[in-house]
């Protein structure tokens, strides 16, 4: 071989190798990567497309009878019943088993798609539906036993379907009915007549952010005051039910948001307070006369983007907090020292590690917690679970892998758990902390998404799926 | 003496062409009939059995799995909070990378109108890990599903993913119904 080639070929090989190394080192394989930044899902003019509708709350009314009252007397006046615990105080004996035909269906109505539940007061049923034909939040008053509609009051508001539209329960007292619509419109009417008293656009007045899938917070009436947790510029407000005057307002410097949970009254060592599991923190506001409307404590360790179950306070100061979408649960301990309140986180865990609930607030029954685990709870997914508050990760009983449920409601009446599954099947379970013992089940509705909390009075249960409201007679004969 | 009938060359060629043409027509018809009636099979995932274990991503013989996320739009809720797009407990519901569940950002989110968002799968980026499917199944309507894409799949005699699938969700199905879409409730082979 020519001597020149003998030098040239290795030289070219070395140069090629060097060029390859330079190319390898100098080339950034991620040069065409694009950073994921906020706002990529919206065009510049998206915001200008959104226009706020002016809503005249309580504008329309129609009466169908002169009758003002009904014959039954028991009440389920607001979210979770008279004692805010989802346990009926009624002594009325209820059936243990369904017959071949289930139980007598007294009446039923088609509703707008949603999950709003009923309140019952003196034999009358109150329900805030979203009427899709009228495009309106519509408060109905029905007779519990006959289903006859006595009156309705409504106002126009444009709502688009978003996993249903309505999802709150009115609060009812002898004098007032208080409602919150999907877009945070609060309405207070006189109970017997349905006369409009006042309205409040919480989103407009308090710069509140309407939660995903619309408002889930059920209103509370306490001592003649409407108790609302707006988020936005106020953590919580107390509104005079008679006049609509804002009696007190708790500032919200940290910008905690309204969740799907509801404000629940809670008493710890003789001190009454309003408990609320917000997006950002769980907190309590005094319900006592001397310092009503004062923020008592807040626990910021509880901070999840979607919170539907309400904070569940127990007599010993333990407060159970749970949420879905991967959040899991937290148990905190409330303590009082010279009038100052503080909290300690006792436990925090993911859904697969213990009792957690996605949508419904668990039951506190016989010093135990009972609730349905979410889909991301591993082996216990969608099972009804019972735990002791001292160790909510230790499952005392579970409904079993052959008996799973969805996001539907459950309550206790006459020593039995009544659980409505997503598909409209009502299940009767013995209320015990010993074991899961199912007594009977019957499919009352050929439906879906039966998520609205149940209501019961005088043995008449009001239940619904996404589109059908129904009253069944569960009285034992 | 001879019984042999004389055929001249022209007739012989004509007859040969006729026979050849007839055989060709009959052969084509037979072949077509065979193709139409014979059932070929391809591998596919039954979304009703799939548990999103992650093996579709790791066990396919191809360098990037032939399994991709498919969106059944008629099941989708078009939610702002999409369990298939956002990590559980995401800081905020924005398109910032830290909030996204997909490791390759293969899902694009587009605002439609309040309160709806559309979610589009960028198939070239999808690696078939199934994280989005798990999120959508756990927290949403289950409109995101995993499917073997037949323009990528090499249809091995023994599918490497089917061999390890813990829920036996992968089986051979007729080539004329090559996908099992959850939203298609006319499909009869649902488990």
CB-CB under 8 Å, A46 with B111:
yes
pLDDT digits (tens, 9 = 90+) for B79-93: 999 999 999 888 888
Between CA A36 and CA A154 the distance in angstroms is 44
Instruction: Provide mean pLDDT across the span A138-166.
Output: 95
Least Cα distance to A342 among A423, A284, A277, A399 occurs for A284
Q: What is the mean pLDDT of residues A309-319?
A: 97
Least trusted range by pLDDT, from A42-51, A74-83, A464-473: A42-51
Question: For residue A320, what are its two tokens?
Answer: 């159970």
Question: Scanning the structure block, which residue is given the tokens 């960028």?
Answer: B122
In a domain, B29, yes or no: no
Gap between the Cα atoms of A141 and A138, Å rounded: 10
Return the structure tokens found at A270.
């003789």
pLDDT higher at B115 or A101: A101
pTM: 0.85
pLDDT confidence tier of residue A6, bands split at 50, 70 and 90: confident
d(CA A402, CA A384): 11
A-chain residues near B83 (CB < 8 A) = 325
Q: Give the residue on B whose Cα is nearest the Cα of A52.
A: B114
Contacts made by residues B92-99, CB under 8 angstroms, sequence distance 24+: B92/A38, B92/A305, B93/A305, B94/A38, B94/A39, B94/A41, B95/A36, B95/A37, B95/A38, B95/A39, B95/A40, B95/A41, B96/A36, B96/A37, B96/A38, B97/A35, B97/A36, B97/A37, B98/A36
Which domain does A78 fall in, by range?
Answer: 54-169+410-450+452-477
Question: What average pLDDT score do residues A286-314 get?
Answer: 96
What average pLDDT is seen over chain A? Answer: 94
Is residue A426, in this structure, part of any structural domain at all? Answer: yes
Residue B144 lies in a domain: yes
Name the residue among B147, B110, B107, B152 with its Cα closest to residue B125.
B107
Q: Is the pLDDT of residue A271 over 70?
A: yes
Residue with the larger pLDDT of the pair B183 and A254: A254
Write down the pLDDT at residue A46: 62
Residue B54 belongs to domain spanning: 41-174
Tell me if B104 is assigned to some domain: yes
Best of B78, B83, B88, B133 to disrupt the A interface (most A CBs within 10 Å) is: B88
Q: Is A214 part of any domain?
A: no
A378-415 pLDDT, tens digit per residue, is 999 999 999 999 999 999 999 999 999 999 999 999 99
Contact B79 A304 (CB under 8 A): no
- Asked whether this complex has an ipTM greater than 0.90, the answer is no
> Is A231 inside any structural domain?
no
CATH number at residue B63: 3.30.70
Answer yes or no: is pLDDT of A4 > 80.
no
Q: Is the Cβ pair B97, A37 closer than 8 Å?
A: yes
Q: For position A122, what pLDDT does the model report?
A: 94
Residue B184, pLDDT score? 57
- Numbered residues of chain B with Cβ closer than 8 Å to any chain A Cβ: 77, 79-81, 83, 87-98, 100, 105, 108-111, 113-117, 137-139
Does residue A114 form part of some domain?
yes
Residue B131 lies in a domain: yes
In a domain, A475, yes or no: yes
Query: By a Cβ cutoff of 8 Å, what residues of chain A touch chain B?
Result: 35-43, 46, 49-50, 160, 162-163, 212-213, 304-306, 324-327, 374-376
Quote the number of domains for chain B: 1
Which stretch of A110-114, A228-232, A328-332, B172-176 has the lowest confidence by average pLDDT?
A: B172-176
Span A434-443, pLDDT tens digits:
999 999 999 9
> Residue A184: is its pLDDT beyond 70?
yes
Is the CB of B95 less than 8 angstroms away from the CB of A49?
no
Mean pLDDT across chain B, nearest whole number? Answer: 89
- Look up tokens 């390759």; give the residue: B104
pLDDT at B84: 95
Q: What is the pLDDT of residues A331-376, one digit of tens each?
A: 999 999 999 999 999 999 999 999 999 999 999 999 999 999 999 9
**B100/A375 Cβ within 8 A:** no
How many structural domains compose chain A? 1
pLDDT of A349 reads: 97
Q: Which residue has the higher pLDDT, A2 or A75?
A: A75
Best mutation target, B139, B142, B185, to test chain A (most A CBs within 10 A): B139
| Cα atoms in the Cβ-side hemisphere of radius 13 Å centred on A23 | 6
| pLDDT above 70: percentage of residues in chain B | 91
Residue B174 pLDDT exceeds 80:
yes
pLDDT tens digits, one per residue of B118-151:
999 999 999 999 999 999 998 888 999 999 999 9
pLDDT at B185 over 60: no
């Amino acid at each position: 071989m020519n001597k020149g080639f003998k030098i040239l070929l290795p030289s070219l090989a070395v140069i090629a190798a060097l060029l390859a190394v330079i190319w390898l080192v100098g080339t950034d394989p991620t040069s065409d990567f694009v950073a994921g930044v906020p706002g990529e899902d919206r065009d510049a003019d998206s915001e200008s497309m959104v226009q706020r509708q002016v809503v005249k709350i309580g504008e329309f009314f129609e009466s169908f009878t002169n009758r003002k009252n009904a014959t039954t007397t028991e009440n389920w006046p607001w979210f979770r019943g008279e004692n805010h615990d989802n346990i009926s105080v009624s002594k009325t004996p209820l059936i243990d088993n369904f017959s071949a035909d289930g139980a007598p269906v007294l009446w039923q109505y088609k509703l707008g798609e949603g999950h709003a539940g009923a309140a019952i007061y003196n034999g009358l049923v109150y329900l805030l539906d979203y009427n899709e034909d009228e495009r309106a939040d519509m408060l109905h008053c029905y007779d519990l036993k006959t289903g006859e509609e006595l009156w309705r009051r409504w106002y126009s508001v444009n709502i688009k379907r978003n996993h249903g539209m309505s999802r709150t329960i009115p609060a009812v007292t002898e004098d007032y009915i208080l409602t919150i619509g999907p877009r945070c419109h609060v309405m207070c009417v006189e109970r017997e007549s349905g006369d409009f008293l006042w309205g409040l656009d919480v989103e407009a007045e308090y710069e509140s952010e309407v939660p995903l899938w619309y408002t889930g917070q059920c209103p509370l009436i306490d001592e003649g005051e409407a108790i609302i947790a707006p988020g936005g510029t106020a953590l919580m407000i107390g509104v005079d039910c008679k006049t609509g005057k804002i009696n007190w307002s708790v500032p919200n410097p940290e910008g905690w948001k309204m969740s799907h949970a509801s404000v629940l009254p809670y008493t710890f060592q003789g001190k009454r307070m309003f408990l609320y599991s917000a997006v950002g923190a769980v907190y309590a506001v005094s319900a006592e006369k001397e310092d009503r409307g004062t923020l008592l404590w807040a626990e910021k360790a509880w901070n999840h983007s979607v919170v539907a179950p309400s904070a569940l306070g127990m007599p010993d100061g333990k407060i159970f907090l749970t949420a879905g979408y991967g959040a899991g649960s937290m148990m905190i301990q409330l303590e009082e020292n010279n009038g100052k309140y503080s909290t300690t986180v006792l436990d925090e865990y993911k859904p697969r590690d213990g009792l957690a609930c996605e949508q419904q607030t668990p039951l506190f029954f016989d010093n135990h917690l009972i609730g349905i685990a979410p889909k991301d709870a591993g082996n216990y997914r969608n099972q009804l679970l019972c735990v002791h508050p001292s160790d909510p990760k230790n499952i005392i009983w579970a409904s079993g892998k052959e008996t799973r449920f969805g996001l539907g409601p459950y309550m206790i009446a006459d020593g039995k758990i009544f659980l409505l599954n997503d598909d409209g099947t009502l299940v009767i379970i013995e209320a015990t902390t010993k074991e899961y013992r199912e007594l009977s089940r019957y499919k009352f509705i050929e439906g879906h998404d039966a998520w609205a909390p149940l209501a019961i009075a005088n043995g008449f249960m009001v239940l619904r799926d996404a589109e059908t409201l129904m009253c069944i007679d569960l009285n034992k004969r | 003496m001879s019984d042999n009938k004389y055929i001249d060359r022209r007739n012989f060629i004509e007859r040969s062409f006729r026979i050849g043409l007839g055989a060709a027509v009959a052969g084509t018809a037979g072949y077509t009939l065979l193709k139409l009636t014979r059932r070929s099979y391809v591998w596919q995932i039954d979304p009703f059995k799939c548990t999103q274990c992650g093996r579709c991503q790791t066990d396919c013989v191809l360098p990037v799995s032939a399994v991709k996320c498919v969106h059944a739009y008629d099941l989708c809720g078009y939610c702002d909070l999409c369990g298939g797009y956002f990590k559980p407990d995401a800081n905020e519901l924005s398109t910032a990378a830290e909030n996204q569940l997909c490791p390759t950002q293969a899902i694009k989110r587009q605002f439609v109108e309040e309160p709806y968002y559309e979610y589009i799968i960028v198939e070239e980026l999808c690696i078939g890990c199934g994280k989005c499917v798990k999120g959508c199944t756990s927290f949403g309507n289950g409109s995101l599903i995993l499917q073997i894409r037949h323009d990528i799949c090499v249809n091995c005699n023994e599918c490497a993913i089917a061999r390890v699938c813990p829920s036996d969700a992968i089986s051979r199905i007729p080539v004329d119904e090559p996908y099992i879409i959850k939203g298609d409730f006319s499909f009869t082979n649902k488990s």
